[in-house]
Amino acid sequence: MTVATRPGAVLWHPKDIPASATIHGAVAAAAALRPDAVALRYGDGLTVGYAELDAAANRLAAELLERGVGEGDFVPVLVPDGPVLPAVLLAVLKTGAAYVALPVDWPAGRLQQIADRCDARVQLVGDTVAVAPAGPQSVRVPAEVVALAPERSGEPVPAAGSADSPACVFFTSGSTGEPKGAVSPHAATLRLFTPAPYSCEPVAPFGDCPDLFPGRGPLAHFGPRTVALRTSSVAWDLASMETWGPLLNGGSVVYGPPGPLTPAAVREAVKAHGVNTLLMTASLFNTLVDEAPECFDGITQTLSGGERMSTEHARRLLTAHPAIHLVNGYGPVECTILATTVRVHDAAALEGVVDAPIGTPLPGTLVVVTREDGTVADRGETGEILLGGPGLVSEYLADPMQTAERFVESVLPAETTGLQDDTRVRLYRTGDLGVVDEDGVLWYRGRVDRQLKIRGVRVEPAETEAALRREPGVHDAAVVPLRDVQDRPVGLAAWVTGERGLDVTALREKLASLLPGPLAPRWIGRLDAYPRGGSGKTDYAELERLAARQVTAPSGSTPARGPEEELVAAVFAAVLGAPRAWADTHLIHSGGDSLAAVRIAHRLTLAAGRRVTAADVLSSPRVFELAARMRELPRTAAAAPGAHDGSETAEWELSAGQIRIWLTEQLAPGCPQNLVQRTTELEGPLDIEALRAALGDVIDCHPVLRTVYLEDEDGVPFQRILPPGGPAPLEEIRVPAAELPARARAFAAAPVDLTTGPVLRLGVLHDPDAAGRATAVLAVHHIAVDGWSLPVIVEDLRCAYEARSRGQAPVLPAEAVGYAAWHGAEAATADPAERERRVGAWRAELAGVQDVPITAPPATAAPAPGGEVGLIAAPVAPGAGAAVRDLARSTAATPAVVLLAVFAQAVSDITGARRFCVAVPVAGRSDPGLARTVGFCVNTVPVRVDTEPGTDPLSLVPALRRRFLRALRDELPFNDVVAAAGGDRGHRMPLVQVCMAYQTDADAPLTLPPALSRPAPTPAGDGGFELTWELWPNHAAAADGGIAGTVQFRTGAFPAGAARSLRERLDALLSALPVPPAAFQPHRK
């Protein structure tokens, strides 16, 4: 049956759906027809077949049925978007229940609100999700399809559900201040993706739909050869199209890497998985066309929807790819995915065309345009678009008032439909304005209210305003859109009236914790009163203009400085459509979003020769932050310099570890945590000039101690070794005894200028009235040394001082392998194939790892380099230290692994963490020739921990030993491991937040005979982690196994009370360690 086009503005494309038809039934039929066909593709060539997918869904469905899930239930699904998700959704459907797919990164308050609305008895939660809504019983879901309920048979469960049964719920923004849950039945989805006759009138330059869709379904070539890339949030109905379109017709769904879709990701998906279908919002479509139209190579069909299509972008795509099938789609979520479509196919005819139609109805869809009085409009007359047919959702979940307001019963007169009798229909009032032209094609003409679409997501400003008004100190709120250069809404700004002194920054952060990204205002300003129009109503247009000026040119902005910041600022301004960007311009607060981040990353990669990703941009959203971040990013193949020759006099690039230290120094110049310090109290005679000469000898012996750190004209950091013979950086400070400790701390913490040096300095502080007593403070920047290096330095300084005190020149052993030579060899011997193997091994090892929950209030949890660091003593008592050594021998482990097990369990007990990583610094000196090398060779390896609060730490030792050895075998620079793990932690340290450092010689004292030396308390360094247990031998109690230690903590994540609780838990676990039998003798090689 063809689409009915009538004299009035009524378009009807009927389609009957069998009463017993269901989504899960159709997928099961596809599995029976082609059991070995590939249903899901992901990762490095990994696949899931149809039979495997259906069996996994059956196994999980059987478990859900045992838990009482069935028809009438609405099951929240909080599972990361990936190949396991379709099996989970199918399992819910097989029970007869409806699923509610929720993004795992939505604010906890929003998730709880939705879970309460569902009134669910069970919710499905991914095993990597740390926090789930309270109330429903949580069923944990693994990350792999094969791991779903493996103990069950996978036999089909009894058929449940029907075409009219609820299949899923899409939560969308609500004008009342509460989200609305649109309950979509099976028939609403099946009408689009199962075979049906289809035809519509051709509209030049927009083609007739039959030319585009010769396959089984009416939307695209959804058939066995369809390979569609998942790009949309699981919360939106477009994700259903990407999932069920292929799976209902024997095609494949591809899951790419997490994060915003980039041109590189599209190219990789086409190359690795054969992707040929892209379904996306108009915003994403425009971004890909703007930045890299060549990424559509290999794509045969593309649908753009959710927002108005840009005909200019359509023209440019079709000019580059004339054979591609491009479709413009329209439809609110209440009509499940799409209501109308039209093919866009003639690039030449699009020249100068400013608007595109939204087409004709899809199967099972009725379109009616009505006047304000509710009568049917004529052709060519603008009115409100109403939609009907089996595509409509059945209700708003648990919201009968909103359901009655938006869904109306109507009688269409026979003269408007062409039928013999008047027809009673159920219609949804979209609030969209439209017009049906004389050819029976629908065109979009705006809104009857203030509703917006941001990146394809419906946004009701009234919901954001209601949330603002609920906050203390806010009297009223007015929300307006932020627009890009094409006048498209890209975010929200808010003006509030209220108490003077209202903290709008805190208010913005609070809203971000309550509302999903598109609904949270990116900028908030305060006014005493709103501007009014001639009618006395709030002038929203003027508020929008005021917000645009404030966002693009805020008061107090700092100009960009230096070539890196100037480049980043220029790209920011171009992408944001602003006349200028400043050093402190914030991408998100200035109206940018993840798509803007994709654009910025792509342009900076080309302009700067650095591999900039969208994640880099989003994690460093200010101009100056991104400029600093870029300095540590690898160069592109075209820009990468050749390897240096390893000469100790050459200028050469920084090592991977040095780049990390360099970055923290750029973000927090002078950060005292970047200094390695040693303080020693001296009693006896001291020859200052001999010590000065000895210090010069040591610096001349170790080139890294006379190195400066600079940037080239592209902002790339490099190091330059200065010639020997420079002045020794020793400072003699005379100070009263009462002031000495404070002056010593100030000397130790004084910043180092890496561009001029020196990176090492020695201070000798003494009271002129206290002869024979002094305090020596040695401070070295961490970019030059690691924990291994410090004992070498102090031993060489002792030898050189003794020689100089005798009037002799010292003879210090040369470094067998210089630091530059070590780094050059590391870079030159990197085997790409072996590196890829290691990256794959790390990616598998770290799958499912979670952040350690913070224990500080969310409002204060913002740890940052150079932030406030607390320190408390946390030693291992002598008896416990002896037990650690004995247990290490009895378990064929090292004391460090036993201590790691204790620390990991204490962290789990205090924070509730279950699957997390502990950072463990390793020396990186497997070559014996590096024994005397001074430099930053240390690497950090993350060791995965799987435990539960209350576990015996000894049970963790075997697994930790294996994982630690595997980490050493597959060792990569820490930054590469973080990149392999992927994910975005926002302001937190990526991948690992807690560290255990076991320094075997960390307290090597500075001795200057004949003076007596006594180590003094030394401020500990900080590797940037939120919580660190640092340990070193306590030589005073070495015979009894005593180990000195401290707990360092960033107060933004772990306040002092939590750190003390951790220390108490460490003490309890250590004191409970058993002592192995005395007769045990370990086997020794």
| Amino acid identity for residue 410 in this structure | S
Position with higher pLDDT, 989 vs 483: 483
CB burial of residue 664 (10 Å; 0-12, 13-18, 19+): buried
**Res. 485 pLDDT band, cuts 50 70 90:** low
pLDDT at residue 969, as a whole number: 72
**Neighbouring residues of 508: CB distance < 8 A, sequence distance ≥ 6:** 520, 521, 522, 523, 524, 589
Q: What would the CATH number be for the domain defined by 671-823?
A: 3.30.559.10
Encode pLDDT of 719-748 as tens digits. 888 888 889 999 999 999 888 888 988 898
pLDDT at residue 45, as a whole number: 83
In 3D space, the residue among 786, 777, 784, 695 whose CA is nearest the CA of residue 1002 turns out to be 786
Task: Determine phi and psi for 1044, rounding to 5 degrees.
Answer: -80, 155
- pLDDT tops 90 at residue 902: yes
Q: What would the CATH number be for the domain defined by 460-552?
A: 3.30.300.30
Given 2.30.38.10, 3.60.60.10, 1.10.1200.10, 3.40.30.10, which CATH number is that of 562-630? Answer: 1.10.1200.10
Following DSSP, what letter does each residue of 163-204 receive, concatenated? Answer: TTSEEEEEEE--TTSS-EEEEEEHHHHHHHHS--------BT
Q: Which of 404-413, 579-588, 642-651 has the lowest mean pLDDT?
A: 642-651
Using a pLDDT cut of 90, give the percent of the chain over it.
32
In 3D space, the residue among 255, 243, 251 whose CA is nearest the CA of residue 215 turns out to be 251
Alpha helices in 198-294 (DSSP H): 209-212, 237-247, 263-273, 282-291
pLDDT at residue 862, as a whole number: 42
Q: Which of 257-261, 692-696, 1012-1016 has the lowest mean pLDDT?
A: 1012-1016
Q: Are residues 275 and 266 in contact, defined by beta-carbon separation less than 8 angstroms? A: yes
How far apart are the C-alpha atoms of 613 and 984, rounded to whole Å? 12
Encode pLDDT of 323-360 as tens digits. 899 999 999 999 999 999 998 887 776 766 667 899 99
CA distances from 293 to 311, 317, 552, 572 (A): 15, 7, 29, 21
- pLDDT tops 50 at residue 208: no
What is the rounded end-to-end Cα distance, in angstroms, of the chain? 84
Helix (H) or strand (E) holding 792: helix 789-805
How far apart are the C-alpha atoms of 632 and 1016, rounded to whole Å? 36
**Res. 938 pLDDT band, cuts 50 70 90:** confident
- pLDDT tops 50 at residue 1038: no
**Res. 1081 pLDDT band, cuts 50 70 90:** very low
Helix (H, G, I), strand (E, B) or coil at 408: strand
**Res. 417 pLDDT band, cuts 50 70 90:** low
Tell me, yes or no, if the two domains 460-552 and 671-823 fold the same way.
Answer: no
Mean pLDDT of 844-873: 68
Torsion sign (Cα): 699, 701, 706, 707: negative
CATH superfamily membership of 8-19+194-432? ANL, N-terminal domain (3.40.50.12780)
How far apart are the C-alpha atoms of 68 and 62, rounded to whole Å? 10
Q: What would the CATH number be for the domain defined by 831-926+943-1004+1022-1071?
A: 3.30.559.30
Q: Which of 291-295, 334-338, 928-932 has the lowest mean pLDDT?
A: 928-932
Q: Which of 29-43, 710-724, 767-781, 856-870 has the lowest mean pLDDT?
A: 856-870
Q: Which of 251-265, 605-619, 877-891, 1033-1047 has the lowest mean pLDDT?
A: 1033-1047
- pLDDT tops 60 at residue 229: yes
- pLDDT tops 80 at residue 576: no
Encode pLDDT of 738-780 as tens digits. 888 889 888 988 889 999 989 999 999 988 888 888 999 999 9
How far apart are the C-alpha atoms of 1059 and 1080, rounded to whole Å? 36
Mean pLDDT of 773-793: 88
Counting Cα atoms < 13 Å in the Cβ hemisphere of 539 gives 13
How far apart are the C-alpha atoms of 1013 and 638, rounded to whole Å? 55
pLDDT at residue 824, as a whole number: 62
Q: Could you count the other beta carbons within 10 Å of the beta carbon of residue 972?
A: 20
Domain boundaries, the chain: 8-19+194-432, 46-189, 460-552, 562-630, 671-823, 831-926+943-1004+1022-1071
Following DSSP, what letter does each residue of 412-477 receive, concatenated? Answer: E-HHHH-SSS-EEEEEEEEEEEEEE-TTS-EEEEEESSS-EEETTEEE-HHHHHHHHHTSTTEEEE
Helix (H, G, I), strand (E, B) or coil at 140: strand
Q: Which of 478-487, 880-889, 1017-1026 has the lowest mean pLDDT?
A: 1017-1026
Helix (H) or strand (E) holding 773: strand 773-781
Q: Which CATH architecture has domain 46-189?
A: 3-Layer(aba) Sandwich (3.40)
Encode pLDDT of 371-393 as tens digits. 988 888 999 899 999 999 999 99
In 3D space, the residue among 153, 164, 188 whose CA is nearest the CA of residue 63 turns out to be 153
Encode pLDDT of 495-510 as tens digits. 999 888 899 989 988 8
Q: Are residues 411 and 423 in contact, defined by beta-carbon separation less than 8 angstroms? A: yes
Q: Which of 82-86, 703-707, 751-755, 835-839 has the lowest mean pLDDT?
A: 835-839
Residue 405 region by backbone torsions, left for phi larger than 0, else alpha for psi between -120 and 50, else beta: alpha
Q: Are residues 100 and 116 in contact, defined by beta-carbon separation less than 8 angstroms? A: no
**Average pLDDT over all residues of the chain:** 82
- pLDDT tops 50 at residue 101: yes
**Res. 100 pLDDT band, cuts 50 70 90:** very high
pLDDT at residue 217, as a whole number: 32
pLDDT at residue 209, as a whole number: 33
